[in-house]
């Protein structure tokens, strides 16, 4: 069984469109994350949610809106896509043992290409 899954794995779209990436984890984890990996392979946190509550919101344009319908899902909606949004987006999840030290498990990534 896949622990952290993302759909779709590839997404090609035109500038100006709105798109969503879905993430689901079946590990029973409380915390979920979105990371962005740019064309130079640099990985950076975008958001994290704990039990459906937004915990981390880095400096990300407000065209990006995460939605957590339940603690097993964290979706990423992007409005008015721009060329610079082209990247690989990774979802991850972890327990929240209260130590702040729990391992993060990553999904397979979604490669978004904006034309």
Partner 1 sequence: AQTVTQSQPEMSVQEAETVTLSCTYDTSESDYYLFWYKQPPSRQMILVIRQEAYKQQNATENRFSVNFQKAAKSFSLKISDSQLGDAAMYFCAYLVNYGGSQGNLIFGKGTKLSVKP
Instruction: Give me the residues paired with residue 6 across strands.
Output: 23
| Beta strand segments in 14-109, E | 19-25, 31-37, 43-50, 53-57, 64-70, 73-78, 87-94, 105-106
Stretch that binds partner 1, among 19-27, 70-78, 79-87, 96-104 (CB under 8 A): 96-104
- Check binding of 83 to partner 1 (CB under 8 A): no
CB of 67 to partner 1, least distance (A): 19
- Check binding of 101 to partner 1 (CB under 8 A): yes
Phi, psi angle pair for 114, to nearest 5°:
-110, 120
- Check binding of 42 to partner 1 (CB under 8 A): yes
CB of 98 to partner 1, least distance (A): 5
Kindly tell me which of 89 and 114 has the beta carbon lying closer to partner 1. Answer: 89
Structure tokens given for 38: 């740019």
Stretch that binds partner 1, among 20-28, 30-38, 61-69, 73-81 (CB under 8 A): 30-38
């Amino acid at each position: 069984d896949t622990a952290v899954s993302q759909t779709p794995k590839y997404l090609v779209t035109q500038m100006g469109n709105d798109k969503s990436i879905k993430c689901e984890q079946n590990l029973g984890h409380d915390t979920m994350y979105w990371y962005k990996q740019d064309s130079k392979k640099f990985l950076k946190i975008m958001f994290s949610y704990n039990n459906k509550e937004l915990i981390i919101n880095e400096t990300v344009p407000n065209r990006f809106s995460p939605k957590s319908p339940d603690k097993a899902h964290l979706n990423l909606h992007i409005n008015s896509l721009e060329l610079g949004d082209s990247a690989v987006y990774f979802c991850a999840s972890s327990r929240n043992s209260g130590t702040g030290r729990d391992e993060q498990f990553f999904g397979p990534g979604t490669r978004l290409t904006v034309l």
